[in-house]
Structure 1
Amino acid sequence: MMVKIAAIQMCSGVDPEKNALRMDALVREAHAGGAVYIQTPEMTGALQRDRKGLAEILRPEETDLIVARAKGLSAELGVYLHVGSTAIALEDGKTANRGFLFGPDGELVCRYDKIHMFDVDLDNGESWRESAVYRPGSEARVAHLPFGALGFAICYDVRFPQLFRAEAMAGAEIVSLPAAFTRQTGEAHWEVLVRARAIENGVFLIAAAQAGLHEDGRETYGNSMIVDPWGRILARAPSVGEAVIMADIDIAETIAARAKIPNLKNARDFELTEVRL
């Protein structure tokens, strides 16, 4: 079953209302191009590293602007609209980095909270502690859609292959990877990680990314990609600026790739023995 899917690249600022307007325009562009599944990047609603500024715009899921706009858009356009993620206020005072998939009727199909927190110290003094603000998720998800089974991951999750393997073993034929990769890590690892996760699991990988210099001072890598189960890049956005990329995908290609290299079936349990001199 051939379907057209789209990944939207954004440069979200600190104002959710402005970001919602840009999301709306780009989703409509993707729909006009024939896409039936449309994915937006991580933190579509706002990229805001200042904690006080983030607290001022945080809303619970029930009143969040991006969630409401996406719900209405999916119903109006009759598409599967996947908000890659946005920051959601939780009852315990923490925040979720949460993705939402809405169906063509506007109803919520699935939500996913980013599992792995970006707590790193990079070169040139760049340091991040996502766990200081966000509560990590604890549940992987696979949504069975008419055109294929969709697994979920967000940004830093890409460095944890066990998540992708678990979703593939549970039947995922497509895995979503919305992201806001830093320029430094993106230049080093983005493409190789995205293609590797697609190849080793025999899945389509859809990775909508943030791109460019943001109002909060961070710089993201862009290069949104759609990759097939053989690791071929079907569509790619530039490193800066908004973009809508699209590709026609057919789950038969997942079946074919897994038949050629059946590593999911060939995997074996093993014991690990350490030898110390």
Structure 2
Amino acid sequence: MTERPTLRAALAQMRSADTHAENIASVTDLAARAAGQGAELLCLPEVAGLMNRNAEVARTQVVAAEADPYIAACRELAAKHGLWVHIGSTPVLGPDGRFLNHSAVIDATGAIRAEYDKVHLFDVAIEGQAPIGESKRFAPGEAAVMLDTPWGPFGLSICYDLRFPCFYRRYGQEGATIIFIPSAFTVPTGRAHWEVLIRARAIETGAFVLAAAQAGEHADGRETWGHALAVDPWGGVLADLGREAPGLAVVDLDLAMVEAARRQIPALKTGRDVPLKRL
């Protein structure tokens, strides 16, 4: 049972720049707009704080989480507007010298309530494109993270985690009401897989999925798919922010839908671990 039966959430779509300052300015505007529409939670995309694939320049910008200017700005905005903020993610310096793709949830007082580092790194070779190796600069996170809130448990993830359904099944089994999947999907993978995977994770877990996204052509030369999505536990799309433009959508989540979906299709309880016969 949640303390609060409904949640008004603001879902953001950004075209993040290659400096913290530009992105902080964008998020400052988004937070004001979200608060002005009565939102209780603002959801931001992956690499919302800094999107810079120039390794040499990024090394001069990225600092430890406790010193990161984007995270500090999100804390100030949360407190100013009385708004919970899921920061999406931003690169921070990890203990071994590599970066971490780092996320956090901040409450309405500006306190950090949970932190998560992306577990599954985007090391892929899409036909016709140069290979992408996130693990060249980033270290993987070590744990899934779930946070108790007035709206029930929140499950944290980032982008490529999306392709590992067992990761989300555990969140569902532990009672997550909302799962965050902030992303910066490439255009080829986004076109082929984005919506179907987001909706599948919501259906499989019986949870709301809030998937803030990056969109369009970025200063560092990348192009991202967009289509930030809010999806209900039955797989219904509540908001889709489209292909290219930054924007904000406010959605009202009826959290009773979570229990109803799981009651009707109790797959989280009735799954069986059976041996595999290979013939």
* Partner residue in 2 for 1:207: 211
Pairwise CA distance, 1:91: 2.9
Q: Deviations over 1:15-60 (max 9, x none)?
A: 1111111011012111111110111000011111111121011111
- Residue type of the partner of 2:56? K
- Structure 2 counterpart of 1:71, from 75, 78, 81: 75
Q: Is the 8 A contact 1:112 1:141 kept in 2?
A: yes
* Partner residue in 2 for 1:251: 255
- Structure 2 counterpart of 1:28, from 25, 32, 43: 32
Q: Deviations over 1:147-201 (max 9, x none)?
A: 1211011000000001100111111111000000001100000000000000011
Determine the C-alpha separation between the residues in 1 that align with 2:7 and 2:177.
13
Determine the C-alpha separation between the residues in 1 that align with 2:179 and 2:10.
13
* Partner residue in 1 for 2:159: 155
Determine the C-alpha separation between the residues in 2 that align with 1:101 and 1:270.
37
How do 1:139-218 and structure 2 match up within 5 A? 139-218=143-222
Pairwise CA distance, 1:106: 0.8
- Residue type of the partner of 2:138? Y
Determine the C-alpha separation between the residues in 1 that align with 2:152 and 2:31.
21
- Residue type of the partner of 1:235? A
Identical pairs, percent: 39
The answer to which of 122-131 and 209-218 deviates more is: 122-131
* Partner residue in 2 for 1:4: 8
Q: Is the 8 A contact 1:14 1:47 kept in 2?
A: yes
SS of the equivalent of 2:276 reads coil
Determine the C-alpha separation between the residues in 2 that align with 1:149 and 1:250.
15
Q: Deviations over 1:85-123 (max 9, x none)?
A: 000012321110000110111111000000000000002
- Structure 1 counterpart of 2:43, from 39, 51, 54: 39
Q: Is the 8 A contact 2:42 2:84 kept in 1?
A: yes
* Partner residue in 2 for 1:224: 228
Q: CA RMSD in A?
A: 0.8
* Partner residue in 2 for 1:114: 118
Determine the C-alpha separation between the residues in 1 that align with 2:202 and 2:97.
36
Determine the C-alpha separation between the residues in 1 that align with 2:110 and 2:28.
15
Determine the C-alpha separation between the residues in 1 that align with 2:266 and 2:63.
45
* Partner residue in 2 for 1:53: 57
Q: Is the 8 A contact 1:90 1:96 kept in 2?
A: yes
What residue ranges of structure 1 are gaps of 5+ in the alignment?
A: none
Q: Is the 8 A contact 2:157 2:181 kept in 1?
A: yes
Determine the C-alpha separation between the residues in 2 that align with 1:26 and 1:74.
11
SS of the equivalent of 1:8 reads strand
- Residue type of the partner of 2:87? V
What residue ranges of structure 2 are gaps of 5+ in the alignment?
A: none
Scaled by the length of structure 1, what TM-score is found? 0.98
Q: Is the 8 A contact 1:8 1:27 kept in 2?
A: no
Determine the C-alpha separation between the residues in 1 that align with 2:109 and 2:60.
31
